[in-house]
Amino acid sequence: MLISLLIQLTILMNKKNIISMFGMFALIVCSITGWARPEYVAPTGASGCTDCHVNNSGSGYKTGVITAYYSSSNRMVGLKNYITALNGQVQAPDTQPVLHPINSKWDVTVGELPLVISFQVTDAENDAFALHGSAPTGVSISSVYTKNNLPTIDLSWTPKATDASKVFPLQVYVTETATGRSLSSNTVQATIQVWPARTTTANVVTQFSMESAQWQNNVLTLNGQVVLKNTLSVAQRKAALNTLKLNVKSNFGKIIVNATKLSVDAKGSWVKKITLTAAQVPCTVKLTYEGLRASRPVSLAPSATCVK
């Protein structure tokens, strides 16, 4: 079952603090000159204090100033749009926001940590935006935060036992919400595979994922992430990685590699290379690691000969 998402992705500042800040600006900037402090005047294109304030003392605000300030996650953009309209200037052309790609397939296991998918947006004007689309029932959305200098929001989902062995579609895009802005981004799509709860008793792995699977030059390359319990000591971590084994099968259960060890770096990343001919490589690969599972179609696998 899918639900519609409409999430406003802006961080609104406390109004009292906004007013206090504007008051300080008026006292410091306007009591000297309109250009003494360019933090507001220069970026917004204002000619002086009275573009926003009712007088040079900064004792009040013109109609629409506060609303303009709130209208964009980049406060200077909101004020610049207000000043532009005030002076009858032509507003700079709006550009379409871009929603960055995500993996096309995700895995999550019932009873484990929630699946978290991060969405990032690029917009030349830094406009405020809202997230739209469809997702499994019960998803939660984080507040906007900055990651790698981009606005980021996380979608989190914990499946129920009744969701096990099902595949859920995910489709998301964003639309601008700033005043005079209405462009929508590209749409990203993915599927989420829900695996039944694992039955192993010694659970030292909290997360296991496969990012990609590709066959090229008779080598199947798999890579992903492993997260061990943060309570493990260095010695316990080493012992666990020496004991745990990866099992690799085709979509219909043919064993490709059984009980092979993974080398995991300090950041939890792993890469596994397996030599396979065109008649041995699976069309879709299924992995099991301490009871946690993941699957991916194998990129470049020959459809005529790959193992089903």
Segment 52-99, tens digit of pLDDT: 776 776 667 777 778 777 776 677 777 777 777 777 655 567 889 999
pLDDT at 225: 96
Please tell me whether residues 213 and 291 are part of one structural domain: yes
Residue in 220, 226, 229, 197 with CA at minimum distance from that of residue 297: 220
pLDDT at 83: 76
Looking at residue 127, which CATH number applies to its domain?
2.60.40.60
Please tell me whether residues 6 and 152 are part of one structural domain: yes
Please tell me whether residues 240 and 287 are part of one structural domain: yes
- Of the three residues 195, 220, 235, the one that is the final residue of a domain is 195
Please tell me whether residues 77 and 33 are part of one structural domain: yes
Residue 307 domain-assigned? no
Residue 31 domain-assigned? yes
pLDDT at 13: 32
pLDDT at 14: 36
Please tell me whether residues 183 and 282 are part of one structural domain: no
- Of the three residues 56, 86, 116, the one that is the final residue of a domain is 86
Residue 306 domain-assigned? no
Please tell me whether residues 6 and 125 are part of one structural domain: yes
pLDDT at 88: 64
Q: Give the separation between CA 284 and CA 250, rounded to whole angstroms.
A: 6
User: At CA 156, angle to CA 153 and CA 160, rounded to 5?
Assistant: 165
Residue 21 domain-assigned? yes
Phi, psi (deg, nearest 5) at residue 90? -80, 125
Characterize 234-256 residue by residue with b for buried, 16 or more Cβ atoms within 10 angstroms of its Cβ, and e for exposed. eeeeeebbeebebebbbbeeeeb
Please tell me whether residues 76 and 106 are part of one structural domain: no
Q: Give the separation between CA 275 and CA 307, rounded to whole angstroms.
A: 14
Residue 110 domain-assigned? yes
pLDDT at 12: 32
pLDDT at 117: 96
Please tell me whether residues 209 and 292 are part of one structural domain: yes
Please tell me whether residues 38 and 110 are part of one structural domain: no
Please tell me whether residues 155 and 222 are part of one structural domain: no
- Give the chain's end-to-end CA distance (angstroms, integer): 29
Domain span at 125: 2-10+95-195
What are 262-284's pLDDT values in tens digits?
999 989 999 999 999 999 999 99
Please tell me whether residues 62 and 131 are part of one structural domain: no
pLDDT at 16: 36
pLDDT at 45: 74
Q: How many domains does the chain have?
A: 3
Flag residues of the chain having pLDDT under 50. 1-37
Residue 200 domain-assigned? no
Please tell me whether residues 102 and 123 are part of one structural domain: yes
pLDDT at 35: 31
DSSP 8-state secondary structure symbol assigned to residue 199: -
pLDDT at 59: 62
- Of the three residues 38, 59, 86, the one that is the final residue of a domain is 86
